[in-house]
């Protein structure tokens, strides 16, 4: 709001100065170039110093239209709006402070995400399993592969909106056709883009897909033992199953089979993917053709069908692709091959470093 304030004597002093030191005569014509006297005259009186003062209007002077007084100097508005603007400018420069500044000045509790935020879930919901599941489940799919002598079921993670999906190589190895079901129930046909059996990774691409929700790939190098994690996949064909736990250990040397027929046999039997750890074999024989990778160990429950699914951190970022799980040594069926809290995931940084190779057809195509 603009305010007009006029102090007593302010404009009289401003207009007296040009006339000081000059003798005024009633008969003198008014100089049109000289500013006219102000509309309000000072009280009659004489200057004790002898300087002539304008004490009354000249009687012979023609009438001169009054000149509007200059407006008072505008006061700057220093209210909340100006402060908000100042805070926004400063916060934009330092990043992340905008939300705090606006919240403090307005009293609102809304959190404004900055462009540098990598959290998929709101910061106030970090670590909340329900929020993580709601945010990431649309990016996790069920993968059904038709093999020469049966079918296998696993999971996958959407990494592009047009349908690129990362999964385990052992989920789709030897498949004659692949069907994918998204969290909203839609079904797509998928084609293999590239495979890397040495890392147990594969990239498949949905046909005629668009507008899918791609997952946010995190940084597995920043994962620490004890971090909260959430696993999402399709164990036993139960699409979108969510479990949670912590990171139990890092850099576990896990050895898995690269033998296509070995993988098919294990999938059909319903057991977990065979792997070796500490010189022992779990969930069946791994065969003679194997590969070893560094894995994240978790106690989040993993079951057959979780392979290729997502291991997620407390902020909703993908930090691993679930790949192996331990089940009881005497398990004879999938119903007895439940998780006992020993699951393993391929670190997402391994996946990211392998994406270019997978998109080019994978290392297997060059061997």
Catalogue the active-site residues. Answer: 170, 200, 307
DSSP 3-state of 161:
coil
The CA radius of gyration of the chain, in Å to the nearest whole number, is: 39
Six-digit token pair at 133?
């599941």
Using CB atoms within 10 Å of the CB of residue 190, give its burial: 0 to 12 exposed, 13 to 18 middle, 19+ buried: buried
Listing DSSP states for 13-71 in one string gives HHHHGGGTT----TTSPPPTTSPPPPSSPPPS---TTS-----S--TTSPP-PPPPPPP
Residues paired with 320 in a beta bridge: 311, 347
Six-digit token pair at 19?
């006339």
CB 332 within 8 A of CB 271: no
CA distance 320 to 313: 9
> Is the CA virtual torsion 19, 21, 27, 29 positive or negative?
negative
């Amino acid at each position: 709001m603009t305010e007009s304030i006029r102090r007593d004597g302010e404009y009289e002093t401003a207009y007296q100065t040009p006339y000081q030191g000059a003798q005024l005569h009633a008969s003198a014509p008014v100089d049109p170039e000289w500013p006219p006297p102000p509309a309000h005259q000072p009280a009659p009186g004489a200057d004790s110093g002898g300087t002539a003062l304008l004490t009354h209007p000249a009687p012979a002077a023609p009438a001169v239209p009054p000149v509007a007084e200059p407006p008072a100097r505008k006061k700057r508005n220093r209210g909340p709006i100006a402060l908000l603007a100042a805070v926004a400018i400063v916060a934009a420069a330092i990043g992340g402070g905008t939300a705090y500044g606006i919240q403090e000045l307005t009293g609102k509790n809304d959190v404004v995400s900055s462009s540098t935020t990598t959290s998929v879930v709101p910061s106030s919901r970090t670590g909340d399993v329900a929020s993580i599941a709601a945010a990431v489940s649309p990016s996790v799919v069920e993968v059904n592969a038709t093999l020469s002598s049966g079918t296998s079921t696993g999971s996958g993670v959407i990494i592009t909106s047009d349908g690129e999906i990362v999964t385990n190589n052992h989920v789709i190895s030897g498949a004659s056709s692949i069907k994918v079901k998204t969290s909203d129930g839609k079904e797509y046909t998928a084609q293999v883009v590239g495979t890397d059996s040495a890392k147990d990774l594969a990239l498949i691409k949905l046909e005629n897909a668009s507008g899918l929700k791609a997952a946010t790939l995190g940084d597995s190098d920043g994962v620490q033992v004890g971090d909260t994690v959430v696993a999402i996949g399709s164990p036993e064909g139960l699409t979108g199953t969510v479990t949670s736990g912590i990171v139990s250990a890092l850099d576990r040397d896990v050895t898995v089979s690269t033998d296509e027929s070995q993988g098919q046999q294990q999938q059909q039997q319903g057991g977990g993917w065979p792997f070796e750890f500490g010189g022992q074999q779990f969930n069946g024989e791994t065969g003679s053709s194997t590969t070893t990778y560094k894995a994240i160990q978790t106690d989040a429950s993993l079951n057959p069908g979780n392979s290729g699914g997502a291991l997620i951190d407390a902020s909703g970022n993908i930090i691993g692709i679930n790949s192996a799980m331990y089940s009881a040594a005497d398990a004879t069926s999938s119903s007895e091959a439940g998780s006992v809290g020993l699951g393993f995931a391929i670190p997402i940084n391994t996946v990211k470093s392998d994406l270019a190779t997978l998109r080019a057809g994978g290392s297997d195509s060059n061997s």
